[in-house]
Chains A and B, each alone.
Chain A
């Protein structure tokens, strides 16, 4: 891609985080990872310029829902698209995100959905 988009992957599990990282990178995305919600918010503030956030729901320190609340309260990042990825997320929690992917994630589905949700920066 000539204009690679930056994706933030917020996921506490190393295997999943690194596999998504590898998959998106191989598709030409620039990938930044965070190990929990707090880490994710810090990366958004310090690095910025993200097109999309892939967000796990259950994480230590700060979970996905708390991350979303903080994100939506901040006018600077309120419009940043978020795709929630979890084995336990239900309709209620997914409503606060822009989209929802259930684990185990199908890689083909993930790679098709990401460009749809990722915004121009």
Chain B
């Protein structure tokens, strides 16, 4: 280089700086990108930033009259550069200073390549760049400092905000009428409960305890599994009027309580299952009131239904009673009219007279049966007059009466010569009349009705048998219930109002005996009455032996 040996003045150095400005910038940029980590990420323009005017001003300073650096404008340029670097991400103070060192090195090297500089020129260039370094780094530091203060201030504000938010949350949590609780972990440990929640388990320690330890009554109920499922699935659960069995005192009796509630899953900061929040309202009073109302309504409906059935049964009963009473009245009336109409022979007079009497007795028997059945229905017993009776004679009298009414269908089988006992003779006759009368009504038309009498070991048995359709299982269960006619009798168009068998049972029981029935399609139907021959029952007080007719 031609000028290497020539010592240049400050003015010449300034002119040289101006001429070499672009070279300096290029070298600086290349070295800065290589040595300063934050520089390489910058665009050319951003990286050079305020360096071009800074170099221009260096040239001005070298050309100026004063041989020192004091110009305010250079300070401004450097400050601006410090501001700029502080704004750029990744720049540290060391890197800002290093950039100036590169500038110093590149500038001195570039000038020395062209000329020889005096000591004072080098010093002035060094001073100028040092000045820039100081201003830029001071500015950088100030901004960083401000930033730190701001950060700390922000942190304080955030903490205050957090406390405020927490207070607000606690107030809501504490004062709300809803019962709230928070559990965490697969063991469902109580983390938070509010007073409303605590009031469900008065005096019980909950916080910090596992759900099933604090509330062992939930073992076997659905809640623990449900909570875990909500926590692990992340899907909330809403329950309406769900019943929980809760012990008011630990280990005490369980009470049915009802709740509307929401289980809300709470994830941790990474989104993994953390716990479950419960927001519940107790609705026990409402549910109980509704259940009570429903029960009352149901009871009322049942009562109305019972009354309706009773009314229908009464109407059917009155209809059947009217119909049945007209039958003996018709027979007796026609027999009487026939007697009056013609002068009959003695035999006919006897037959018709007997028919009138039998049918009057039949009507009277119906009324008597009805009154006695009513008495039994009201829980009273039938008055019994005990006397010595011959069972064979009683049976013959009953069959004779029935033959007048129904014709000659009846057979009597007595398996012993004498069968005597202490009974109410007329009541036992009514038992036989009822059973044999039913047998002829419900038995196969024209087939015989057999009354079999046996006597063994102080007990007498009366069996009444007929062939015909058997009594169904369902009818057997209500056979002796007052006013409950058999479905067979109803569908078969048979007359009667369902008091006969009630009466039979009442009379037999008043004698200390029992009545049973066997019925099937092959063997037909047999009613069996079992009577003690000599009744010495403790309940036979004098009041029960009153005359009953």
Chain A residues near B (Cβ < 8 Å):
13-16, 18-20, 22-23, 26, 35-36, 39, 58-63, 87-88, 103-108, 110
- Return the chain A residue nearest B494 by Cβ: A60
List 27 A–B pairs whose Cβ atoms lie within 8 Å, in order of A's numbering.
Answer: A13-B406, A14-B404, A14-B406, A15-B327, A15-B332, A15-B355, A15-B359, A18-B407, A19-B334, A19-B338, A23-B341, A26-B341, A35-B445, A58-B323, A59-B493, A60-B441, A60-B442, A60-B492, A60-B493, A61-B492, A87-B323, A88-B323, A103-B329, A104-B330, A105-B333, A107-B334, A107-B338
Q: How far is the CA of A110 from the CA of B333 in the complex (A)?
A: 12
Question: Is the pair B326, A104 in contact by a Cβ cutoff of 8 Å?
Answer: yes
Beyond known contacts A14-B407, A103-B330: 15 more, CB 8 A cutoff: A14-B405, A15-B332, A15-B404, A18-B407, A23-B338, A26-B342, A60-B445, A60-B492, A60-B493, A61-B492, A87-B323, A103-B329, A104-B326, A107-B337, A107-B338
Tell me whether chain B's interface is mostly helix, strand or loop, or mixed: helix
Q: Which residues of A contact B494 (CB under 8 A)?
A: 58, 60
* Residues of chain B within 8 A of A18, CB atoms compared: 355, 407
User: What is the bound-complex CA distance between A107 and B493, given in angstroms?
Assistant: 25
Q: Which 6 A-B pairs have the closest CB atoms?
A: A15-B331, A107-B337, A87-B326, A104-B330, A63-B493, A14-B407
Q: Mark B310-332, 1 if CB is under 8 A from A, else 0.
A: 00000000010011001111111
B348 at the interface (CB under 8 A from A): yes
| Nearest CB of B to A72, in Å | 19
| Nearest chain A residue, comparing its CB with the CB of B403 | A14
Report the contact-size class of chain B (Cβ under 8 Å from the partner). 20 to 34
Please count the residue pairs between chain A and chain B whose beta carbons lie under 8 angstroms apart in the complex.
Answer: 90
B446, CB-defined interface residue at 8 Å: yes
By beta carbon, the residue of chain B nearest A13 is: B327
Chain A neighbourhood of B328, CB < 8 A: 15
Give chain B nearest CB distance to A75 CB in angstroms: 27
Q: Is A19 in contact with B322, judged by CB distance below 8 angstroms? A: no
Q: Which residues of A contact B359 (CB under 8 A)?
A: 15
Indicate if the CB atoms of A87 and B333 lie closer than 8 Å.
no
Given A15-B358, A26-B338, A61-B492, does the pair A104, B445 have CB atoms closer than 8 Å?
Answer: no
- Knowing A16-B331, A16-B334, A88-B319, the reply to whether A107 touches B341 (Cβ < 8 A) is yes
Q: Mark B420-461, 1 if CB is under 8 A from A, else 0.
A: 000000000000000000000110011000000000000000
Taken together as a complex, chains A and B put the C-alpha atoms of A22 and B350 apart, in Å, by 13
A105 engages B348 (CB within 8 Å): no
Give Cα A60–Cα B406 distance, bound, in whole angstroms. Answer: 14
Asked if residues A104 and B406 are in contact (CB atoms below 8 Å), the reply is: no
Q: Is B112 an interface residue (CB 8 A)?
A: no
A110 to chain B, nearest CB (A): 8
CB distance from A8 to the nearest CB of B (A): 16
For residue A20, which residues in chain B have a CB less than 8 angstroms away from its CB? 334
Q: What is the chain B residue whose CB lies nearest that of A38?
A: B445
Tell me the bound Cα distance from A16 to B327 in angstroms. 8
Which residues in B have their C-beta under 8 angstroms from that of A110? 334
State the CA gap A88–B355 with chains docked (Å).
23
Contacts of A107 on B, CB cut-off 8 Å? 333-334, 337-338, 341
* B335 CB-CB contact with A under 8 Å: yes
Residues of B within 8 A of A61 (CB): 445, 492
Residue of B nearest to A87 (CB): B326
Docked complex Cα distance between A35 and B338 (Å): 22
B495 within 8 A of A: yes
Q: Shortest distance in angstroms between A56's beta carbon and chain B's nearest beta carbon?
A: 10
Cα A26 to Cα B493 in complex, Å, equals 31
Whether A58 contacts B326 by the Cβ 8 Å rule is no
> In the complex the two chains form, what is the Cα distance from A28 to B348 in whole Å?
16
